[in-house]
Structure 1
Amino acid sequence: MTQQDRQRIAAGLADGLSYRQIARRLDRPASTITREIARNGGPAGYRPQQAYQATLRRARRGTPAPPPASTPPVAAMEQEIIEMAVRAGMPRTAARVHHDLALSEDGRRTAAELTRRLNVSAASVSVAVNNLVQAGYARRERDPRGRRDIYVIDDDAWYRSVLISRHQTLETVRATMSLAEAHGLDGPVGQRLAKTAAFLERVSLDMIESADRWRHLLTPSDPTEGRS
Structure 2
Amino acid sequence: MGDGQQDQVMRWVERVATFCVEEWGLPPITGRVLGWLMICDPPEQSAGEIADTIQASRASLTSNMRLLTTIGLVRKVRRPGDRTAYYRIEDDAWHKVVQRKLDSLGAFGDIAEEGFAITGHEGPRTERIKAAQESLTWLRDIAARNPKR
Task: Indicate the TM-score class for this superposition, using the shorter chain for normalisation.
Answer: 0.7 to 0.9
CA distance in 2 between counterparts of 1:115 and 1:71 reads 16
- Is 1:194 matched with 2:133? no
The one of 165, 176, 179 equivalent to 2:112 is 176
Tell me, in whole angstroms, the C-alpha distance in 2 between the residues paired with 1:110 and 1:124.
14
Partner residue in 1 for 2:142 = 206
Q: CA RMSD in A?
A: 2.9
**Given that residues 108 and 151 in structure 1 are in contact (C-alpha distance below 8 angstroms), is that contact kept between their aligned partners in structure 2?**
yes
Cα deviation, residue 100, structure 1: 0.8
Of 6, 14, 18, the match for 1:79: 14
Q: Is 1:70 matched up with 2:9?
A: no
Counterpart in 2 of 1:99? 35
Match of 2:55 among 109, 112, 119: 119
Q: Which amino acid aligns with 1:143?
A: R
Q: In the aligned structure 2, how far is the partner of 1:200 from the partner of 1:194?
A: 10
Q: Deviations over 1:50-80 (max 9, x none)?
A: xxxxxxxxxxxxxxxxx94636555544433
Aligned-partner SS, 1:70 = helix
TM-score (norm 2): 0.75
Aligned-partner Cα distance in 2 for 1:157–1:87:
19
- Post-superposition offset of 1:131: 4.4
1:163–1:208 contact (8 Å) kept in structure 2:
no
CA distance in 1: counterparts of 2:113 and 2:38, whole angstroms: 38
Matching residue of 1:51: none
How many residues get paired?
146
Partner letter of residue 141 of structure 1? K
- One-letter identity of the residue aligned with 2:114: S
Question: Quick check: which has more Rg, 1 or 2?
Answer: 1
Using CA pairs under 8 Å that are at least 6 residues apart, name the structure with larger relative contact order, 1 or 2. Answer: 2
Unpaired segments of 5 or more residues in structure 1?
1-66, 217-228
Alpha-carbon distance between aligned partners in 2 of 1:95 and 1:158, rounded to the nearest angstrom: 13
Q: Which runs of 5+ in 2 are unaligned?
A: none
Query: TM-score, normalized by length of structure 1?
Result: 0.53
Q: Does 1:141 align with 2:87?
A: no
